[in-house]
Amino acid sequence: MPRKKSKPMSPGALSLVAARFKVLGEPARLSLLNALMQKDLNVNELVQATGLSQANVSKHLGMLADTGFVSRRRHGLFTVYSIEDQGVYQLCDLMCDSIARRLGNDLREIA
């Protein structure tokens, strides 16, 4: 039973939305966000939390900041990052729900 709720998106809105989903679609960036969801962290702490290289972390953080998902503030030598777009919590929760449903459906198909 289809739901047919939301209004259709314009082509412009579509590419904006897609671009934003794509930012969340990289494991490295999602890993950074995941770490920041626990507490604000500086770059070196994020390097240790994720196991990524410093250059790679900085690059992805730059992209996350440019797209407004995180914000940064300097604290002496350090740059501390925090979640800026609180929507990422719900987005990740929803996606996890979606995966849980999918796993349940798959199991049913096998059985």
Choose between 34 and 78: whose C-beta lies nearer to DNA.
Answer: 78
Choose between 48 and 98: whose C-beta lies nearer to DNA.
Answer: 48
What is the distance between the alpha carbons of residues 79 and 11, in angstroms, rounded to a whole number?
37
Helices 54-66 and 43-50, packing angle to 10 deg: 110
Partner in contact with 43, chosen from its own copies, DNA, none, beta carbon below 5 to 8 Å by kind: DNA
Closest CA to 33 of 93, 74, 76, 105: 93
Q: Which residues bind its own copies (CB under 8 A)?
A: 2-6, 8-9, 11, 13-27, 29-31, 34-35, 37-40, 67-68, 82-83, 85-87, 89-99, 101-102, 105-106
